[in-house]
Amino acid sequence: MKIGLRVCVNSLQGAFKGVPNLLRLFEAYQVQASFFFAMGADLSGRGWRSRCLQPWYPHLDLSSRLYGLLLPPPNISRRAAAEMRSVASAGHETGLLCHDRHAWVIQAAYADEAWTREQVTRGVEAFDGVFQQPPKVFAAAGWQVNPHLLQLEQTLALDYASDVRGKSAFLPVLQGVASSCVQLPTTLPVLGDLLRAGGGVTPENAHEYLYAESQYIPSHGHVYSLDAEMEGMKYLPLMEKLLVMWRGYGEGLATLGELMGEIDRDTLGRHQIGWSQEETGDCHVGTQSVPVQLASD
């Protein structure tokens, strides 16, 4: 059983500080991961009310928290293009998280087709400008999805998407839209949720809780979602403890693309995407739901 690492780079500070920290850590332990980048303006300062969808906000420095609030927002892909390319140069998988992260986590769940297409198109164009090729994988910021996104992912012929939380790889259906783009959901708890929920979980022992959760064996391997602004910065020591524990367990760590390479698409079930409250109950996230059978399947 492998554990895939889904690294979200949400902000300029995450790209400047979190990404180099994680690259050094992953190199030291010979680990490969999948990095997903926010490409547009860093509007971190406007997201202070939605901490459930960006738990890393309090850990940003003052200037980052003021971006888009009092300071002009910098464009992440323009300012941090070298840092983004360094991820690919180190052999890690790269993909698109979103264009405007603030807009995505606030609006995506309710957005129409035109808005969704514009956001995805702008993200794809910015990604192409950095890496000289369009993204082949997508991971929805904040696990916020809509049926138009599923249709676009199929149209773009992506290798896979990692947009929701769940238990195993599946083919998604949302509001009548069925996509052939496989979903690799986040299967393990998220650090921000664990720390906000309390229940005895602290930065000193959270790795033990996460390791315990990883002991059950899912159908297609686990996916752990981490933030460059959290596990790549303040909680880097915790991330190192997890790497040590996971490297010695099962088949070790992998990119999501490697997990996908071991999945027989023809055997995957089709599931509805629903909405569930994350562990603190503060917000709703897209989640793998009940299995369905379509007449065309």
| 296 pLDDT higher than 70 | no
* Residue 92: per-residue pLDDT: 98
Higher confidence at residue 283 or residue 125?
Answer: 125
| 48 pLDDT higher than 60 | no
Please write down the HEC assignment for all residues of 55-98: CCHHHCCHHHHHECCCECCCEHHHHCHHHHHHHHHCCCEEEEEE
* Residue 220: per-residue pLDDT: 86
Q: What is the pTM of this model?
A: 0.95
Q: Which CATH architecture has domain 3-292?
A: Alpha-Beta Barrel (3.20)
- For 74-119, how does the pLDDT look when each residue is reduced to its tens digit (9 = 90+)? 999 999 999 999 999 999 999 999 999 999 999 999 999 999 999 9
Kindly report the average pLDDT of the chain as a whole number.
92
| 126 pLDDT higher than 90 | yes
User: For residue 47, what pLDDT band results from cuts at 50, 70 and 90?
Assistant: low
* Residue 68: per-residue pLDDT: 75
Give the three-class secondary structure for 118.
helix
Give the three-class secondary structure for 194.
helix
Taking CA atoms, 238 is separated from 46, 148, 233, in Å, by 28, 37, 10
* Residue 151: per-residue pLDDT: 98
